[in-house]
Amino acid sequence: MRTAPNVIVTGTPGVGKTVHCEQLAQDLGLKHLSVNQVAKDRDCYEEYDEERKSWVVDDDKLLDAIEDEVLQGGYLIDWHACDMFPKSWIDLVVVLRCPQTSVLYDRLSSRGYHEEKLQENLDAEIFGVLLEEARESYDEEIVVELNSEQDSDVEANCARISQWVQSWKEQHAE
Protein backbone atom coordinates (compact mmCIF):
# COMPACT_ATOMS: atom_id res chain seq x y z
CA MET A 1 0.00 0.00 0.00
CA ARG A 2 1.29 3.43 -0.95
CA THR A 3 1.91 5.98 1.79
CA ALA A 4 2.17 8.87 -0.68
CA PRO A 5 0.21 9.52 -3.88
CA ASN A 6 1.41 9.51 -7.47
CA VAL A 7 0.59 12.70 -9.33
CA ILE A 8 0.91 13.25 -13.07
CA VAL A 9 1.69 16.84 -14.01
CA THR A 10 0.96 17.06 -17.71
CA GLY A 11 0.33 19.63 -20.40
CA THR A 12 1.64 21.02 -23.63
CA PRO A 13 5.41 21.66 -23.70
CA GLY A 14 6.13 25.06 -22.19
CA VAL A 15 3.25 25.23 -19.69
CA GLY A 16 5.50 24.81 -16.64
CA LYS A 17 5.36 21.10 -15.77
CA THR A 18 8.98 20.91 -14.64
CA VAL A 19 8.81 24.16 -12.62
CA HIS A 20 5.72 22.87 -10.81
CA CYS A 21 7.24 19.43 -10.17
CA GLU A 22 10.51 20.85 -8.85
CA GLN A 23 8.64 23.20 -6.49
CA LEU A 24 6.29 20.44 -5.31
CA ALA A 25 9.14 17.96 -4.81
CA GLN A 26 10.90 20.51 -2.62
CA ASP A 27 7.73 21.41 -0.68
CA LEU A 28 6.32 17.90 -0.23
CA GLY A 29 9.32 15.61 -0.30
CA LEU A 30 7.88 13.70 -3.25
CA LYS A 31 10.17 12.47 -6.02
CA HIS A 32 10.22 14.34 -9.35
CA LEU A 33 10.13 11.79 -12.17
CA SER A 34 10.96 13.52 -15.44
CA VAL A 35 9.86 11.07 -18.12
CA ASN A 36 12.17 12.80 -20.62
CA GLN A 37 15.14 12.19 -18.32
CA VAL A 38 14.17 8.58 -17.57
CA ALA A 39 13.77 7.87 -21.28
CA LYS A 40 17.28 9.26 -21.92
CA ASP A 41 18.93 7.61 -18.91
CA ARG A 42 17.35 4.19 -19.47
CA ASP A 43 17.28 4.18 -23.28
CA CYS A 44 13.50 3.95 -23.65
CA TYR A 45 13.30 5.14 -27.25
CA GLU A 46 11.85 3.54 -30.37
CA GLU A 47 13.41 5.87 -32.93
CA TYR A 48 14.37 9.43 -33.80
CA ASP A 49 11.69 11.43 -35.63
CA GLU A 50 13.60 13.54 -38.16
CA GLU A 51 10.57 15.64 -39.04
CA ARG A 52 9.89 16.66 -35.42
CA LYS A 53 13.56 16.60 -34.43
CA SER A 54 12.80 14.55 -31.33
CA TRP A 55 13.01 11.03 -29.98
CA VAL A 56 9.94 8.79 -29.88
CA VAL A 57 9.54 7.13 -26.49
CA ASP A 58 8.84 3.40 -26.31
CA ASP A 59 5.91 3.45 -23.86
CA ASP A 60 6.16 -0.22 -22.87
CA LYS A 61 9.90 -0.03 -22.22
CA LEU A 62 9.43 3.17 -20.21
CA LEU A 63 6.62 1.72 -18.08
CA ASP A 64 8.72 -1.39 -17.39
CA ALA A 65 11.63 0.87 -16.38
CA ILE A 66 9.64 2.85 -13.80
CA GLU A 67 7.00 0.38 -12.59
CA ASP A 68 8.75 -0.84 -9.43
CA GLU A 69 9.48 2.73 -8.30
CA VAL A 70 6.09 4.26 -9.11
CA LEU A 71 4.14 1.45 -7.45
CA GLN A 72 5.79 2.49 -4.15
CA GLY A 73 4.12 5.92 -4.48
CA GLY A 74 5.31 9.43 -3.85
CA TYR A 75 6.06 10.43 -7.44
CA LEU A 76 5.41 13.58 -9.42
CA ILE A 77 5.37 12.35 -13.00
CA ASP A 78 6.38 15.12 -15.39
CA TRP A 79 5.36 14.34 -18.98
CA HIS A 80 3.45 15.90 -21.86
CA ALA A 81 1.15 12.90 -22.12
CA CYS A 82 -0.69 10.88 -19.52
CA ASP A 83 -2.73 8.17 -21.24
CA MET A 84 0.02 5.54 -21.16
CA PHE A 85 0.12 5.30 -17.35
CA PRO A 86 -2.16 2.61 -15.83
CA LYS A 87 -5.09 4.06 -13.88
CA SER A 88 -4.09 2.02 -10.83
CA TRP A 89 -0.76 3.88 -10.61
CA ILE A 90 -2.23 7.39 -10.56
CA ASP A 91 -4.03 9.31 -7.81
CA LEU A 92 -4.21 12.78 -9.37
CA VAL A 93 -3.76 14.16 -12.89
CA VAL A 94 -2.93 17.87 -13.07
CA VAL A 95 -3.30 19.33 -16.56
CA LEU A 96 -1.49 22.65 -16.79
CA ARG A 97 -2.87 25.08 -19.36
CA CYS A 98 -1.61 28.28 -20.92
CA PRO A 99 -4.63 29.72 -22.76
CA GLN A 100 -2.79 32.92 -23.64
CA THR A 101 -0.96 31.44 -26.62
CA SER A 102 1.35 34.44 -27.04
CA VAL A 103 2.91 33.50 -23.67
CA LEU A 104 3.28 29.88 -24.76
CA TYR A 105 4.66 30.94 -28.15
CA ASP A 106 7.38 32.99 -26.46
CA ARG A 107 8.31 30.11 -24.14
CA LEU A 108 8.59 27.61 -26.98
CA SER A 109 10.43 30.06 -29.25
CA SER A 110 13.01 30.65 -26.54
CA ARG A 111 13.62 26.87 -26.50
CA GLY A 112 14.42 26.97 -30.20
CA TYR A 113 11.39 25.02 -31.39
CA HIS A 114 11.15 25.08 -35.19
CA GLU A 115 7.99 26.61 -36.64
CA GLU A 116 6.17 23.33 -37.39
CA LYS A 117 6.75 21.88 -33.91
CA LEU A 118 5.84 25.22 -32.35
CA GLN A 119 2.56 25.39 -34.27
CA GLU A 120 1.72 21.77 -33.48
CA ASN A 121 2.11 22.48 -29.74
CA LEU A 122 0.12 25.74 -29.92
CA ASP A 123 -2.70 23.88 -31.71
CA ALA A 124 -2.65 21.15 -29.05
CA GLU A 125 -3.02 23.83 -26.37
CA ILE A 126 -5.75 25.76 -28.19
CA PHE A 127 -7.82 22.61 -28.73
CA GLY A 128 -7.20 21.24 -25.22
CA VAL A 129 -5.81 17.96 -26.57
CA LEU A 130 -4.03 16.95 -23.37
CA LEU A 131 -6.95 17.87 -21.13
CA GLU A 132 -9.22 15.74 -23.30
CA GLU A 133 -6.70 12.88 -23.19
CA ALA A 134 -6.64 13.06 -19.38
CA ARG A 135 -10.43 13.10 -19.13
CA GLU A 136 -10.71 10.09 -21.45
CA SER A 137 -8.01 8.11 -19.62
CA TYR A 138 -8.82 8.71 -15.93
CA ASP A 139 -11.82 9.10 -13.67
CA GLU A 140 -13.21 12.62 -13.85
CA GLU A 141 -12.75 13.33 -10.15
CA ILE A 142 -8.95 12.93 -10.28
CA VAL A 143 -8.37 15.22 -13.29
CA VAL A 144 -7.72 18.87 -12.44
CA GLU A 145 -7.13 21.69 -14.92
CA LEU A 146 -4.96 24.60 -13.72
CA ASN A 147 -3.77 27.74 -15.52
CA SER A 148 -0.04 28.30 -15.72
CA GLU A 149 0.69 31.62 -17.38
CA GLN A 150 2.30 33.75 -14.66
CA ASP A 151 4.70 33.14 -11.78
CA SER A 152 1.85 33.71 -9.32
CA ASP A 153 -0.02 30.79 -10.95
CA VAL A 154 2.82 28.44 -10.03
CA GLU A 155 2.60 29.44 -6.35
CA ALA A 156 -1.20 29.09 -6.26
CA ASN A 157 -1.17 25.80 -8.16
CA CYS A 158 1.52 24.29 -5.93
CA ALA A 159 -0.40 25.35 -2.83
CA ARG A 160 -3.55 23.70 -4.18
CA ILE A 161 -1.74 20.49 -5.14
CA SER A 162 0.03 20.44 -1.76
CA GLN A 163 -3.34 20.64 0.02
CA TRP A 164 -4.62 17.78 -2.10
CA VAL A 165 -1.54 15.63 -1.30
CA GLN A 166 -1.92 16.31 2.44
CA SER A 167 -5.59 15.36 2.25
CA TRP A 168 -4.72 12.16 0.36
CA LYS A 169 -2.15 11.23 3.01
CA GLU A 170 -4.67 11.81 5.82
CA GLN A 171 -7.31 9.70 4.06
CA HIS A 172 -4.82 6.86 3.48
CA ALA A 173 -3.16 6.95 6.91
CA GLU A 174 -5.08 3.99 8.30
How many CB atoms are located within 10 Å of the residue 50 CB? 7
How many CB atoms are located within 10 Å of the residue 77 CB? 25
**107 marked as part of a ligand binding site:** no
**87 marked as part of a ligand binding site:** no
Rg (C-alpha) for the chain, rounded Å, is 16
- Let me know the angle formed at the C-alpha of 38 by 166 and 118, rounded to the nearest 5 degrees: 95
**17 marked as part of a ligand binding site:** yes
**18 marked as part of a ligand binding site:** yes
Helix spans in 49-150 (H): 59-70, 101-110, 115-126, 129-137
The answer to whether 96 touches 16, Cβ cutoff 8 Å, is yes
- Let me know the angle formed at the C-alpha of 162 by 156 and 167, rounded to the nearest 5 degrees: 130
Binding residue positions for ATP: 14, 16-19, 111
Feature table: binding site: 14, 16-19, 111
